């Protein structure tokens, strides 16, 4: 009776990807990071010198680019291999230039329609943990379990800062904090599918918690949902 469709939403660097992947492994479910798709569109647009401000051109790109998710092809710490029109963009989509440009791209209605249709098709097959910003509210409102994973701005900026330093980037914490705040403002104020907690989502604040502690709490939420399902 474990929930078949699990949606995990939350702001940037709240830990959605890490926790979603661990949960999927434990349940032997498909792990799907919906935000990756918007990052792919952004990275490809930048690589092809398509202005991020050109909504028509970016939308056309989103409608036509082929995005493939494959098992990790290289043992370099990646969760999976992501290809755009056959080109490996797994790490390219995590670059700072993508971080600061992905929110406008993800706010374009046409881009969201193109990506949401693919996300929904995958999610409705069940046995999936899908993470993003509008999974429980827009993409899969019928999800069996919805979790909203959050943390303070400072905590999320610290996590993102450490990630980037570990990759060898020269970056300052205050700069990362500004980027996190800007990202939050864009994601929460966009007119199409803004970031927000679904009314029936379980709220979990991960501030100050380790990955193991958050995973434990999420597993407890899943077990509780399964018990409720059995009782009904």
Q: Where are the domains of the chain?
A: 5-221
For residue range 21-32, list pLDDT tens digits in order.
Answer: 999 999 999 888
What residues does 205 pair with on adjacent strands?
150
Per-residue pLDDT reduced to its tens digit, 65-123: 988 877 778 888 887 788 999 999 999 999 989 989 998 998 899 999 999 888 898 89
For residue 124, what are the CA distances in angstroms to 84, 112, 115, 116, 152?
Answer: 23, 17, 14, 12, 32
Tell me what the mean pLDDT of segment 117-146 comes to.
Answer: 93
Predicted confidence band of residue 6 (pLDDT cuts 50, 70, 90): very high
Task: Share the mean pLDDT of the chain.
Answer: 93
Coil, helix or strand at residue 201: coil
User: So what's the pLDDT on residue 191?
Assistant: 81
| Fold (topology level) of 5-221 | Rossmann fold (3.40.50)
* Structure tokens, 100: 């600061």
DSSP state for residue 15 in the 8-state scheme: S
Chain segment 55-67, per-residue pLDDT in tens: 999 999 999 998 8
CB 96 within 8 A of CB 171: yes
Task: Supply the pLDDT for residue 219.
Answer: 97
- pLDDT for the residue numbered 193: 83
Q: Quick one: pLDDT at residue 229?
A: 80
Neighbours of 184 (CB within 10 A): 16
pTM above 0.85, yes or no: no
């Amino acid at each position: 009776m474990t929930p078949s469709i699990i949606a995990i939403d939350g702001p940037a660097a709240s830990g959605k990807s890490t926790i979603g992947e661990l949960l999927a492994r434990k349940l032997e479910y498909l792990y799907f990071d919906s935000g990756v798709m918007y990052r792919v569109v952004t990275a490809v647009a930048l690589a092809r010198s398509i202005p991020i401000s050109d909504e028509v051109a970016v939308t056309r790109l989103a409608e036509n680019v082929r995005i493939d998710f494959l098992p990790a092809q290289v043992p370099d710490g990646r969760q999976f291999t992501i290809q755009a029109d056959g080109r490996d963009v797994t790490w390219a989509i995590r670059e700072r230039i993508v971080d600061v440009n992905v929110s406008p791209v993800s706010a374009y209605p046409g881009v969201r329609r193109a990506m949401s249709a693919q996300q929904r098709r995958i999610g409705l097959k069940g046995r999936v943990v899908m993470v993003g910003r509008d999974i429980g509210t827009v993409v899969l409102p019928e999800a069996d379990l919805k979790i909203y994973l959050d943390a303070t701005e400072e905590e999320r900026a610290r996590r993102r800062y450490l990630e980037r330093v570990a990759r060898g980037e020269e970056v300052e914490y205050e700069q990362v904090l500004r980027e996190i705040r800007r990202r939050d403002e864009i994601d929460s104020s966009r007119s199409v599918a803004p970031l927000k907690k679904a009314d029936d989502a379980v709220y979990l604040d991960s501030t100050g918690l380790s990955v193991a502690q958050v995973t434990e709490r999420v597993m407890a939420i899943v077990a509780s949902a399964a018990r409720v399902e059995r009782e009904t």
